Structure 1
Amino acid sequence: MDDRSRLDRWDRRTDLPLGVASLVFLGSYAVHVLDPELPSAVHAILLSLTYATWAMFAVDYAVRWRLSHEGPGFVRRHWLDTVVLLLPLLRPVRVVRTYEAMLRRHGEPRMGLHARVAAYSALSIALLGFAGSLAVYQAERSAPDATIRTFGDSLWWTCETLTTVGYGDFVPVTAMGRIIAVGLMACGLALLGTVTGSFSSFLLQRFSLGAEERRPPEK
């Protein structure tokens, strides 16, 4: 069995467990951030779950690197996996990859390509926005001059940032909050650009088909 087959088998076996791990990570982190009044033992369990899922992704990354036999080039060729490993904020987006893999196992998805791109991009934006809101809220709520004091404020700020509106009513003041803001800006531009490009391509195809249907047949 060649290395490519082994890597494909590993991906098929780990897609679902890592997708579940992404949801566990998001759920445990959300409860840890949103309910600080819980007993310390409960917070310890939540943090243990968070770090355990992180360890799962680290093991998956190491195994895929070894099976690829690409050496340091693996980091460059699989840069998205590297970013997801280093930035917990992006880990819930793994659910989208798991969903796509499950659809492929059960045959061709019923939705067209453009609809799937738009749907997966919307799901990615929702997961990224929720995780980003949690991270910013945790970083900002205790800062002396913070304007983001509640989770509702954080959600509103995240919507402004992802859509590149930026009213300026809420602004992160901590270094971690601003780092998260830069990441959300970049991801928001990329994901919204994907949706816009897919929709534009869909319209061009529809107009092209309409023009061909109205064209008189050649003699």
Structure 2
Amino acid sequence: MTQRRSDLLEAPDRARWELAAMAGRLRSLELKLAEEQVNAEALRRERDREHRRWERLRHSQSYRLGFGLVSLAKDPLHTVPRIARAVLRRLRRRPKVTTEGVRRVPAAAQRPPAHLYVAIGLDTVAVREFVLTLRQRLLVNPDHRPVVVTDCPQFALLRDLGVLLEYLPDRDTWEKHRPDRPWDDVLAQRLSRLYRDHDTARTIIVDRAQPPSLADLLR
């Protein structure tokens, strides 16, 4: 009887210990997930930058010239006629225009500017509705490239909406696992990096209590 009573008294302590251990494991998993998401975002941006760089190189005149020289060195018998035909085709298609009064616009000037939308504190449904509204606004007037910063952990589910999403762990999760580094400093550093990476021309703070409507975005 005494042993049974002792077991009953120890059961709540053992349950509390198991719950504390489970909570610790969950916090570790949350931190690991947040770090993996941040690393995945950094790798994705690096991949996109390298892909754009490769596309620019592939379409550059230097690349085509180098490719032609390599082909000429490997197989001059077949390369020379092919190069000659390509030159003739280009000359036939080239319109006769005068250079007077022609103004060339740099490629960077033709690219629309980037607008940074800081949507912090919105849940998955609110972020999705805002991104859909933003897409409607771009259909009306595609005058910029939107970049949405969100702290929603399920942001990866919204990538199919066609708007660039940048993830930042929310304040509570960050301060729980990294109390040595203020979340405000992390946010400021991340925004500065996004300004540099995307050449941002404008920043819009999204009110989580009342996200902007289509009419608001068109103003």
Higher normalized contact order (CA 8 Å, seq sep 6+, divided by chain length): 2
Q: Into which bin does the TM-score normalised by the smaller protein fall?
A: under 0.3
Q: Which has the higher strand share?
A: 2
TM-score by length of 1: 0.26
> Which of 1 and 2 has greater Rg?
2
Name whichever structure is richer in helix by fraction: 1
TM-score normalized by structure 2?
Answer: 0.26
